[in-house]
Amino acid sequence: MATLVGGIAVSHTPTIGFALDAHKQNDPAWAPIFETFEPVKRWLREQKPDVIVYVYNDHVTSFFFDHYSAFALGIGDEYGVADEGGGARDLPAIKGNAQLARHIGMSLSADEFDMSFFQDKPLDHGFFSPISALIDRDEQGWPTRVVPLQVGVLQFPIPTARRCYRIGQALRRAIESYPEDIRVVVMSTGGLSHQVHGERAGFNNTPWDHQFMDALTNDPEALAQMTHAEFAELGGLEGAEVIMWLIMRGALAGNVKKVHSGYYLPSMTGIGTLVLENTAAPLPGAAHERHRAHMAQQLVGAEKLSGTYPFDLAASVKAYRLNKYLHAMIDEAHRRAFLEDPERSFEAAGLTDEEKDLVRRRDWRGLIHYGVIFFMLEKLGAVVGVSNLHIYAAMRGETLEAFLQTRKTKAMYSVAGNTQKTESWSSEPAER
């Protein structure tokens, strides 16, 4: 079983990354940042976590308000460095652990947290600012993998402090029930006290910062009862993002061992560091088996439905590249490039030989088996002039005529905006 070693809380201000990149480690104004980080670095070197479950908030870099979620879990294989406006920092991408991420996603959903999931999104200073100062890397890259959990704390309504604490408790169940023998650390970021907008910009409250870190260690339940307005009054509106620290704390045992606590206020944000070791005794194996059964409950029996393939997180990761390519058919330039020179279009998208072949042959059933979701097929069909009915027939291995005999009407349709293309639909599909 996975071992939840402990938790780290750390601020994620851009100050940290700037000071590191500008080689300010020995500058008197900046050195205290790195001094308070050093015990955290040492602890991570000693513990050697295989994976860090990293709780952070994006700063409207990779996530925008066209779709803003409360909890978004990264399930991909790799995460690059985001460009926040002035060019990306010169850091290598960090590998994800997609298998653990899928397990966590299934577990949190089974525990009735309404999750969203992301891939192919770079991480901004909410991740790379503290990580770059806490973990040594070499020519091979980073020595650990990451499962990022992005919390939407910028557009109200946002999750309550209580909800954050509870998802942390659910995160513990997810990690401890993971069957692989790996070492996991939960790291939460954000805060401490600061406000960066309005006439209150520059607000700090050092006594509250210390009180908060002490309560997080010894009395997290009290913090979970607080409102966003109370956090904002004491720590600034942006400082209210410290509710994410409760996710880390909820993932640990009721009693923890404090290994390190540090604090420094160089400019706009109180920079805090906190390391807590987990003291929980391992649960008996049967408890984890019951939890995994709980995770799988909603799809028990689906495997008996012949010709039925739920589009799950594993399929989403496996076929992400091909689904993304087919989804791009909603863009006119991409459609034109595909129709004019499909092979060049395939190469530009980096499709594998198997993926290219599936699209070339319009192997509708094979695409489903590969992990493509049906709604990408109807987009491809609309582009190449194949109706939905042709695709349905191909799924069943039937002729269009035979399939239509099973319908109340003989209506032909697709999602194509130009209905004049329907005149080119033949009575038989040219491909499978």
Q: Are 295 and 269 in contact (CB under 8 A)?
A: no
Name the residue with tokens 């050195």. 31
Neighbours of 340 (CB within 10 A): 9
125 among known catalytic residues: yes
Catalytic residue among 12, 103, 125, 334: 125
Letter string b/e over residues 148-168, b meaning 16 or more CB atoms within 10 A of that residue's CB: bbbbbbbeeebbbbbbbbbbb
Nearest to 109 by CA among 61, 160, 167, 153: 167
Torsion of CA 257, 260, 261, 267, to 10 degrees: -150
Strands (E), 198-267: 256-264
Helical ranges in 77-138 per DSSP H? 98-110, 125-134
Give phi and psi for 123, each to the nearest 5: -105, 140
327 among known catalytic residues: no
Nearest to 190 by CA among 265, 118, 250, 240: 240
**Whole-angstrom distance, CA of residue 215 vs CA of residue 234:** 14
Catalytic residue among 12, 103, 194, 291: 194
Looking at the annotation, which residues are catalytic? Answer: 125, 194
